[in-house]
Amino acid sequence: MIGLLKHLASVPLAAFLLVYDAVEALFRRLVLPAIAALAKAPVFVRLGRAIAALPPYAILVLLLAPFAAIEPFKYIGLYWLAEGRLALGVVTTVAAHFASILICERIFHVGRSKLLTIGWFARGYFFLTGLRDEALAWIRATWVWRASGALLRRVRNRLRLLIRG
């Protein structure tokens, strides 16, 4: 019975994660070149060095402040989408993801080594990333994920053929 429930639950979960993963990958591909270019700007290079020079707990506070301000907007955007306010929801969600990548991930990237010197932070970080990796491995092992991936590859190949003419 538990096996059947897991199997049934895997279908919508795998579908949701497939869509979320695809959108996230597309968004990152579009945004990361802009962020990489910004990261090379002299002002951001100096900012990165200044952040990296801070003590671990100062970096943590510097990371948590924008995170706490930005993350709720991702969910507010999803709420607006669910309410039918499409333009507002899309703009809010995209802006929040862009700001999160630009600010929070940048701070984490330059301060990661020092943040991981904080014992409880490192344990939590590795626990959560391990949990995420296990969940993704489980989802990616389901037949729904494999079938969806195969379907997406076929669609992509056909689109390539159509574009090339």
Neighbours of 66 (CB within 10 A): 16
pLDDT digits (tens, 9 = 90+) for 85-107: 989 998 998 899 888 888 888 89
Q: Provide the H-helix boundaries in the chain.
A: 2-39, 42-53, 56-82, 86-99, 106-115, 119-140, 143-164
CB contact set of 140 (below 8 Å; sequence gap of 6+): 146
pLDDT-derived band at 2, boundaries 50, 70, 90? low
Say what the pTM is: 0.66
Instruction: Output the six-digit token pair for 109.
Output: 């990237």
Q: What is the pLDDT, as a whole number, of residue 104?
A: 86
d(CA 20, CA 24): 6
Residue type, 15: A
Q: What is the pLDDT, as a whole number, of residue 66?
A: 92
- Check whether 11 has a pLDDT greater than 70: no
- Check whether 125 has a pLDDT greater than 80: yes
- Check whether 72 has a pLDDT greater than 90: yes
- Check whether 64 has a pLDDT greater than 90: yes
Beta-carbon-side half-sphere exposure of residue 47 (alpha carbons within 13 Å): 14
Q: What is the pLDDT, as a whole number, of residue 21?
A: 65
- Check whether 123 has a pLDDT greater than 90: yes
d(CA 59, CA 119): 14
Higher-confidence position of 123 and 37: 123
- Check whether 23 has a pLDDT greater than 80: no
